């Protein structure tokens, strides 16, 4: 939140949340604009082969869900590169739940404050199981889908393993709503002002969901740190960082990849956060949230 059920106890849940752009972050913003303006949406056949949807009577239709998945994967590919649709076999299963009782019966009590949860794990006879559970809101929306699907896509990039929590959650939040991203940004700044920050060394080493009283700071810092690092180079370098850090440590890896001395990292990160806020160009979430009324 290891099998890779998101909340790292098994699942890592989705918890339902930069103004003027500097030249330093221009490369990332241009990439994101491309993703926002002209994603290449996958063919119906390929999406239907890769993803299986289970809904309930009167709930969102498979077509609604697959449309959001296709858009999310297209934007992912624009930013990170990759195939049109991952060749998932067996397919990734997406299950929509009408009520919290049904949802919690699958994700467990630890998911009580969440609306989405994802699972990626190796099957005993080979292959990978991929599953996303979503709690549909009273208005028929299921806005956790892009965030959870990005967790699954990230796990693929890491060979079926969970990426470090700061990277996994930080990148997945790029696909959250603009409002939610801004709340996380504010949480980060508030934690810093109030002296409740999670030290950088600790943030980079966290491998399980933190206690509730530290959750806002961890999520806020994870979002802002991923944005800051991505603004300094190619987005792909962000996904290369953990593997390089395993070999030589984060201090040397950050110098090697970003030409940024460890001693200067925190000050520059804080300056970036103060000068930026998420804006429509950097929010990759779905343009609209499906409604149950779209169903049969």
SS3 of the chain: CCCCEECCCCECCECCCCCCCCHHHHHHHHHHHHHHHCCCCCCHHHHHHHEEEECCCCCCCHHHHHHHHHHHHHHHHHHHCCCCCCCCCCCEEEEEECCHHHHHHHHCHHHCCCCEEEEEEECCCCCEEEEEEEECCCCCCCCCHHHHHHHHHHHHHCCCCCCCHHHHHHHHHHHCCHHHHHHHHHHHHHHHHCCCCCCHHHHHHCCCCCCHHHHHHHHHHHHHHHHHHHHCCCHHHHHHHHHHHHHHCHHHHHHHHHCCCHHHHHHHHHHHHHHCCCCHHHCCCCCCCCCHHHCC
Res. 152: pLDDT tops 50 = yes
Least confident of 105-119, 218-232, 274-288: 274-288
Res. 288: pLDDT tops 60 = no
Q: 5 has which bridge partners?
A: 119
Return the ∠ at Cα 241 (arms to 239 and 246), rounded to 5°.
125
| pLDDT single digits (tens) 61-105 | 999 999 999 999 999 999 888 767 899 999 999 999 999 999 999
| pLDDT single digits (tens) 155-175 | 999 988 889 999 999 999 999
């Amino acid at each position: 939140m290891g099998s890779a059920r998101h909340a790292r106890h098994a699942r890592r849940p989705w918890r339902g949340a930069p103004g003027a752009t500097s030249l330093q972050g221009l490369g990332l913003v241009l990439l994101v604009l491309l993703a926002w303006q002209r994603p290449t949406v996958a063919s119906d056949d390929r999406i239907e082969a890769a993803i299986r949807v289970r809904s309930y009577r009167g709930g969102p239709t498979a077509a609604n869900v697959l449309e959001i998945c296709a858009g999310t994967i297209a934007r992912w590919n624009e930013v990170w590169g990759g195939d049109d649709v991952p060749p998932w076999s067996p397919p990734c299963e997406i299950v929509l739940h009408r009520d919290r009782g049904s949802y919690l019966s699958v994700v467990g009590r630890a998911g009580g404050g969440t609306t989405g949860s994802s699972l990626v794990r190796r099957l005993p006879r080979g292959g990978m199981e991929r599953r996303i559970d979503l709690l549909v809101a009273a208005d028929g929306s299921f806005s956790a889908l892009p965030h959870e699907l990005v967790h699954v896509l990230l796990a693929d990039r890491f060979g079926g393993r969970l990426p470090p929590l700061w990277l996994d959650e930080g990148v997945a939040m790029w696909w959250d709503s603009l409002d939610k991203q801004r709340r996380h940004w504010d949480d980060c700044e508030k934690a810093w002002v109030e002296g409740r920050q999670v030290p950088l060394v600790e943030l980079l080493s966290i491998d399980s969901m933190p206690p509730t009283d530290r959750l806002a700071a961890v999520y806020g810092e994870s979002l802002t740190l991923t944005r800051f690092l991505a603004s300094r180079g190619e987005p792909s370098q962000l996904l290369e960082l953990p593997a390089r850090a395993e070999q030589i440590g984060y201090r040397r890896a950050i110098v090697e990849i970003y030409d940024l001395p460890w001693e200067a990292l925190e000050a520059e990160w804080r300056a970036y956060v103060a000068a930026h806020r998420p804006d429509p160009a950097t929010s990759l979430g779905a343009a609209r949230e499906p409604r149950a009324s779209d169903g049969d």
